[in-house]
Amino acid sequence: MAYTIVPVDANEAFSVSQPKITDNFAAINTVISIDHETFDAVNQGKHKWVKFTEQSDQATLSDEMLLYTKDNAGEPNLYLRKESSGTIFNMTPSTSGHGVANAASGSETLPSGLKLIWGTGTASGAGSVITFADGGFSSYCFNVTATLFGVAGSYYFINIIAGSVSNTQFTIACHDRNALPVGQTVFYQAIGK
């Protein structure tokens, strides 16, 4: 059902306009009732849920944000674009295996602009340098947490050496009765910008 301009001109009789007006109200009701509470409902006009059709990246003006869906590796993802055609964030958690969120190492940029990097490295003895996955951070690393995958019957306490964290790597040391074992896996998480 199409929406019709009423009246067509100033000379159109009401008897001609009235069926068009009725059809227009029926068309409006059809549009409103999709994903909305209908007329005369307790919550009339409110959304039941929100569905997005896939779009391409769109520009934003100052004091605007854009929430939209577009295709990413064959499936729709939800995106947020900041004002003035600013940064675009993929808001969809990766659940189908196509994104880095399901990888042993990778990174994710959060809607706040902070970047989370996780991964593994290999201990190479005292003062082991571990390089961040995905090229590290562009500005600054705020925090790193590292865990050594232990050896049965031994325990190791590792720490990040003060002043050793950069945008691309960090250095760990062992402060324990045992030396930092060569070849052991180091798991890490880091957050920065």
**Could you list the pLDDT tens digit for every one of the 193 residues in the chain?**
678 888 888 899 999 999 999 999 999 888 888 898 888 889 888 999 989 999 999 899 999 999 999 998 888 889 889 999 988 888 876 544 444 556 788 888 777 778 999 999 988 877 889 999 988 999 999 999 988 776 666 666 777 887 889 999 999 887 665 566 778 888 999 999 9
* pLDDT for the residue 23: 92
* pLDDT for the residue 38: 82
**27 contact partners, CB below 8 Å, separation of at least 6:** 1, 2, 3
What the block records as the tokens of 146 is 């590292």
* pLDDT for the residue 154: 64
Is the pTM higher than 0.75? The answer reads no
* pLDDT for the residue 87: 85
Domains belonging to the chain, first-starting first, are 1-48 (no CATH), 52-102 (no CATH), 103-192 (2.60.40.3940)
* One-character DSSP codes across 77-129: EEEEE-TTT--EEE-PPP-SS-SGGGSSSEEEE-TTS-EEEEEEEE--STTEE
* pLDDT for the residue 162: 76
* pLDDT for the residue 99: 47
